[in-house]
Chain A
Amino acid sequence: MSATTGYFVAGSSWLHRRNPITKLLGLAFILLAAFLLPPIVLIVLAGAIVLAIWSAGLLRSAARAMRIPALLLLSILVVNAFFFPGATDKLASLGPLSITVEGLTFGLISAGRIVVAFLASIAFLFTTLADDMLEALNARGASYRISFVILSAVQMVPRMQERAGSILEAQQARGLSLEGSFGRRLRALIPLIGPVILGSLVDVRERTFALEARGFGARPGRTAYRVVADPPIDRWLRILTIGACVAVVVIALTGIVR
């Protein structure tokens, strides 16, 4: 992940070519459907997302990214399968512990929702440049200042990570030991976190001045250099997605499908 492009994976697939707002709406639809509709829908959603990721040539990157939530998913599954409160329908026993049908079902559904949400989010992040998102939101009347600040904050993450690495090195070189008792490790956090905050404040001052010198937010009537593609089909896709979102909410509220 780089300081400028974040999670973006360069490419020109059909998913890359969609307008950021279209993709944002699509993401919203998937999240609504995953959490509001009956769990059986998760299978369809997951299949569709994987297909989309595969057709955009991002399967390998997505598989790599899945390593991040893998442990979380596994623990959700295991904890629920063994310790679901009030479950009685035992499937198999392992000494004093038993896997219950209720627990396993609940674990699978929870994990499935997280998988779908995560895959949809990375499909969005992999194919959308933060700057395009910024311009697209701005073109739709969102405050450029606020969008820019949010974008900058997101882009601070890799910078902070790099910085945290340097701080760790510098303090270890001053004899800071990260081993020993819990209390000792806890105390070791102060010299590590202190410079992250204090040093960033120094940076922020200079960065603020630099933005000021470039006229950031000084005048109304800002223009845009980046042209964010918005093919005609995106317009129809957006109408369709908004309609689908409304449908999901209506279905969930009225309980037509259970």
Chain B
Amino acid sequence: MTTASLLEIDDLAVGYPGRSAAALDGVTLHVRAGEQVGVTGRTGAGKSTLALSAAGFLPRVVRAKLGGRVTIDGIDAATAAPAALLGIVGIVFATPANQLSASKLTVREELAFGLENLGVARADMDEQIDATLVRLGIAHLGEREPFALSGGEQQRVAIASIVAMGTRILVLDEPTAQLDPAGTIAVAELLAELSRGGSAVLCVEHDPNVLGRMDRCLVLDAARTVALDRPGTALAAAESAVELRAPTLVRLALAAGLDPAGAFDEPALAAALLARRAPTTAATASVDPDPPASPSWAPVRDRDPVHVAIEDLVHRYPTGIDAVRGISLTIEPGESVAILGENGSGKTTLVKHLNGLLRPAAGRVLLDGDPTDRRSVADLAGSVGFVFQNPDEQLFERSVEREVGFGPRNLGFPASTVAASVAGGLAAVGLTDQRATNPYDLDLSRRKLVALAGILAMDPAVLVLDEPTTGQDADGIAMVGAVVEAYRAAGRSVVAITHDMEFAARFGRIVIMRSGVVVADGPPREVFSPAHRELLASTGLTPPPAARIAALAGLEEVPLDVPDLLAALDRR
């Protein structure tokens, strides 16, 4: 006896007008009440299309040609009246601020917005709002102003706003892509709570911390279903079928000859690894130690390395609050530094001083011993390249090639150097074949890569990256990682702000910030060691998966990837 499915997608095919390739082709997925299903796959695999279909947006809101059937709580989405699905299904997207109605003073009123549209009587609203806030564990946010909340809190309010409408089917499209680790876990726990209450959850995600908590996982590739099973099993199958790189825990289970289905149960995985007697050397050899080879970056000109020194830096907001409270750091040529910490810990504020976007209230920044305080941002741009988090705040040209050439032209590179830099930048991010495309015809993850290429082409001595991996699939993260390494190896330095611990573990040095000061600074093996566990926890961070498993297994060593961990287990 199986519970009836709330959401039934049968043999779904979707084509968008003006595009020859199908966005989805023959996808079938049923989601039962109380079940959480994750959807993952490469950029462009059809994940967002699936989410929009499941929410009943196709073809009513977004024009598309549909084949097959989407049944939402018994209602055929293709023929449903516009208001028929309200209060039955809801969808939440990636950007927290865009999920809110933008006009409400309190979270309570934000939740009321959907009820107003449903025509719920005023007398019943407060009860419904209170029940939702309490059930989702966010009653403490009720009287807060939605725009003053953190991204993680805003996403939980956005979900609550949908749930308050009585919605039992919740669709999410990368809801944690822009959140810090603590915010991500809070959203994942909220989804689990909803499913315990009988809701059906369909969640498009890249983050293994969320995917691993789902009951099942659908992997899409090129519009088709590759695997649909328990998360570990599905991700393992996808790796062997379409070379979609599986999360570390899954690869670890596979390498050790364990059933990947249990990979996300970390204590059990650690225990199984310890109990295993067979030597792992053979298995270890089969594990690919580095991400798949990707195009990389090479300098097109010689430039002198630059030594960065930050001395007793203090930054004060106009409100009088100190965002950075006395930081001293030096960054040598050939060094890669990852800066970690919760949202609001001062990371972005700190790095914005490197190219003069912000000026210190006290202290100074020196490039090769020269203070930067009298140099303009445009002047410093030749030495310090800054890739912002949101590419949509800088892309404006009509082609990718022209966009990437903007920076080098501003710096006055000769035409031949511009051409070579642009080609090098595009090759490094794998977008050579998109050079004539309009940047806004690419999806967000590739628009981010265009922005990165645009700075690479300027060949700065210091490359600063703000959250370069958000929204990237495993291939994209590997590509950004390869760029960082190539850049560092060429004698330049790289500073990256990131929430991705596995990405951070590739850096030579990790700096952790909390409330405007540096609380840890050292190589990854030192910072992620069990000795730092409490410090990490106090900043909302956890070590990367290999280090977590090693700690659970009681190992002294701090391995950063799968081969490392297996080797450490063998040496035990």
A residues near B (Cβ < 8 Å) are 2-5, 129-131, 134, 148, 151-152, 155, 159, 163, 166-167, 169-179, 190-191, 193-195, 198-199, 201-203, 206-207, 209-227
Given the complex, which residues of B lie within 8 Å of A216, measured CB to CB? 101, 113, 117
User: Does B393 lie at the interface of the complex (its beta carbon under 8 Å from any beta carbon of A)?
Assistant: yes
Q: Which interface residue of A5, A159, A191 has the most chain B CB atoms within 10 A?
A: A191
Q: Are B86 and A173 in contact, CB atoms less than 8 angstroms apart? A: no
Contacting pair A166 B388 (CB below 8 A): yes
In the complex, number of A-B residue pairs with CB atoms less than 8 Å apart: 183
The distance in angstroms between the C-alpha atoms of A159 and B100, with both chains bound, is 14
Is B377 an interface residue when CB atoms closer than 8 A count as contact? Answer: yes
B118 to chain A: which residues have CB within 8 Å?
215, 219
Q: How many angstroms from the CA of A214 to the CA of B145 in the assembled complex?
A: 19
Q: Once bound together, how far apart are the Cα atoms of A241 and B158, in whole Å? A: 42
Query: Contacts of B357 on A, CB cut-off 8 Å?
Result: 169, 172-173
Q: Which residue of A lies closest to B114 (CB)?
A: A214
**Chain A hits for B114, CB < 8 A:** 214-215
- List 10 additional A-B contacts (Cβ < 8 Å) besides A130-B103, A215-B114: A4-B105, A134-B103, A173-B385, A215-B86, A223-B119, A223-B122, A224-B122, A225-B113, A226-B112, A227-B122
CA distance A5 to B12 in the complex (A): 44
Pairwise interchain contact B83-A218, C-beta atoms closer than 8 A:
yes
User: 26 A-B pairs, CB-CB below 8 angstroms?
Assistant: A4-B102, A5-B105, A152-B103, A167-B394, A169-B357, A169-B388, A171-B394, A173-B377, A174-B406, A175-B411, A178-B378, A193-B396, A195-B396, A198-B395, A207-B98, A209-B91, A210-B158, A211-B101, A213-B55, A214-B117, A216-B113, A219-B83, A222-B117, A223-B121, A225-B122, A226-B109
What 8 pairs between A and B have smallest CB-CB spacing?
A194-B396, A175-B410, A225-B112, A199-B392, A215-B117, A170-B394, A172-B377, A175-B381
Q: Does B297 contact A (CB under 8 A)?
A: no
Residues of A within 8 A of B83 (CB): 215, 218-219
Q: Which positions in B face A, CB cutoff 8 Å? A: 55, 57, 61, 82-83, 86-87, 90-95, 98-105, 109, 112-122, 125, 145-147, 158, 161-162, 165, 352, 355, 357, 376-378, 381-382, 385-386, 388, 390, 392-397, 406-407, 410-411, 440, 444, 454-455, 458
Question: Could you say which residues of chain A place their CB within 8 Å of the CB of B112?
Answer: 225-226
Whether A210 and B93, one on each chain, are in contact in the complex, defined by CB atoms closer than 8 angstroms, is yes
Question: Hey, which chain A residues are within 8 Å of B117, CB to CB?
Answer: 214-219, 222
- Are A173 and B392 in contact, with the CB atoms below 8 A? no
Least Cβ–Cβ distance between B565 and chain A, in angstroms: 39
Contacts of B61 in A (CB 8 A): 209, 212
Q: Cα distance A65–B266 when bound, in Å?
A: 58
Q: Which residues of B contact A179 (CB under 8 A)?
A: 376, 378
* Contacting pair B122 A3 (CB below 8 A): no
Q: Known contacts A175-B407, A223-B116, A223-B121; is A209 also within 8 Å of B93 by CB?
A: yes
Which partner residue on chain B sits nearest A224 by CB separation? B116
Of chain A, the residue at the smallest CB distance from B129 is A225
Contact, CB under 8 Å: A172 / B378: yes
Q: Smallest CB–CB gap between A233 and chain B, Å?
A: 24
Chain B residues with CB under 8 A of A222: 116-117, 119
Q: Which of A212, A214, A215 contacts B57 (CB 8 A)?
A: A212
Docked Cα-Cα span, A155 to B101, in Å, equals: 11
Nearest CB on B from A17, distance (A): 17
- A223 and B115 in contact (CB under 8 A), knowing A4-B145, A172-B378, A176-B410? yes
Give the distance in Å from the alpha carbon of A130 to the alpha carbon of B104 in the complex. Answer: 9
B385: nearest chain-A partner, CB-CB: A173
In the complex the two chains form, is A221's CB within 8 Å of B406's CB?
Answer: no
Whole-angstrom distance between the Cβ of B176 and the nearest chain A Cβ: 16
Q: How far is it, in angstroms, between the C-alpha of A202 and the C-alpha of B395 when the chains are bound?
A: 12
Q: Is the CB of B162 within 8 A of A213?
A: yes
Say how far A251's CB is from chain B's closest CB, in angstroms.
39
**Residues of B contacting A4 in the complex (Cβ-Cβ under 8 angstroms):** 102-105, 145-147
Given contacts A176-B378, A191-B406, A219-B86, contact A170 B103 (CB under 8 A): no
Question: Residue A173 contacts which of B90, B98, B355 (CB distance < 8 angstroms)?
Answer: B355
Docked Cα-Cα span, A37 to B158, in Å, equals 51
In the complex, what's the smallest C-beta–C-beta distance from B466 to chain A, in angstroms?
Answer: 10
CB pair A151–B103 under 8 Å, yes or no, is: yes
Residues of A within 8 A of B388 (CB): 166, 169-170, 173
Residue of B nearest to A130 (CB): B103
Nearest A residue to B145 via CB reads A4
> Nearest chain A CB to B297's CB is how many angstroms away?
17
